[in-house]
Amino acid sequence: MSNSPTEETVLDVEHFTDRLFAFSITRPPAFRFRTGEFIMIGLPKTEDQKRPIMRAYSIASPAWDDKLEFYSIKVPDGPLTSRLQKIQNGDTVLLGRKPVGTLVLDALLPGKRLWMFSTGTGFAPFASLVRDPETFERYDEVIVTHTCREADELQYSQRLVADLINDPLVGEMVVNEDGSPKLKLITSLTREDHPLKGRITTLIETGKLFEAAGTPPLDPATDRVMICGSKDMIDDTAALVAGFGLTEGSNSDPKEFVIEKAFVG
Ligand code: A2P
């Protein structure tokens, strides 16, 4: 079988800010992935390119969906996103054949509470995981955090989580029997006023995160963590999480936390 990417068709494009947009493409019937994984995405090469430029993108849609959705940054002079941000319905996008990644439920040991810490487009794999029933079958409580610079950058995550209550598959799973939320989205901003201000690292260090979530601090006996953002954010957050006694797991050796990075230029 060829390893070259497949040619897929753009089905939908939505722009949120001058730095962020989401798009969906057709999904080949044989394309299988685990919720939380990423895949290489690109555009057909131009005349002056030897081969297409491909970048790793977390799949934002859940594994049961017949479309593939992605959440992307726009970088004006980025080799891929300078062109990708201009795609329109009907255009061709190249899709790699091998999804991979560590932000998968199987890389974590069972626990009581699942935390997903994200900044910017690092929310993408969690957009997939919060739409997968298995996430709620495995944990009593699911808490996603999303930290951005400005309020506009929270549109995608806030709408997606708010709409979940109407989702035919997970709608009933995101609330407990007593009506309290089983899934919580905690947002914070670093460069604009917001009920919760500050980097996720600061919120963990000061304990404000646990106050906002109504939980005790992280505990390796009960808490599992997934982290996705820029490299610095991942490194800094992972160090703090490890400080609570959680150890890093992988597909072959599940433990208490996992990290990922999916950034594009
Ligand atoms: P800040 O505004 O203080 O830089 P970016 O768009 O640059 O990826 O940033 C997304 C969010 O991640 C911003 O709110 C930013 O905060 C925050 N951030 C950047 N670096 C780190 C880090 N090392 N640890 C935690 N949060 C970070």
Whether ipTM exceeds 0.95: yes
pLDDT tens digits, one per residue of 107-126: 999 999 999 999 999 999 99
Architecture of the domain made up of 6-95 = Beta Barrel (2.40)
First to last CA, the chain: 30
How far does the centroid of ligand 1 lie from the alpha carbon of residue 119, in Å?
7
Q: Is 149 in the pocket of ligand 1 (CB under 6 A)?
A: yes
Question: Does 105-260 match 6-95 at the fold level?
Answer: no
Domain range list for the chain: 6-95, 105-260
> Counting atoms of ligand 1 from 1, which one is nearest the CA of 121?
8
What is the residue-averaged pLDDT of the chain?
Answer: 95
pLDDT tens digits, one per residue of 149-163: 999 999 999 999 999
pLDDT tens digits, one per residue of 211-235: 999 999 999 999 999 999 999 999 9
Q: Is 232 in the pocket of ligand 1 (CB under 6 A)?
A: yes
State which of 18, 19, 81, 119 you would mutate to test the pocket of ligand 1, scoring each by most atoms of that ligand within 8 A of its C-beta.
Answer: 119
For residue 265, the model assigns a pLDDT of 37
For residue 68, the model assigns a pLDDT of 98
Beta bridge partners, 42, equal 54, 94
Torsion of CA 21, 261, 207, 131, to 10 degrees: 60
CATH (residue range 105-260): 3.40.50.80
pTM: 0.96
Average pLDDT over residues 51-80: 94
Q: Which residue, among 21, 188, 23, has the nearest Cα to 121 in the 3D structure?
A: 21
For residue 23, the model assigns a pLDDT of 98
How far does the centroid of ligand 1 lie from the alpha carbon of residue 130, in Å?
23
State yes or no: pLDDT of 263 exceeds 90. no
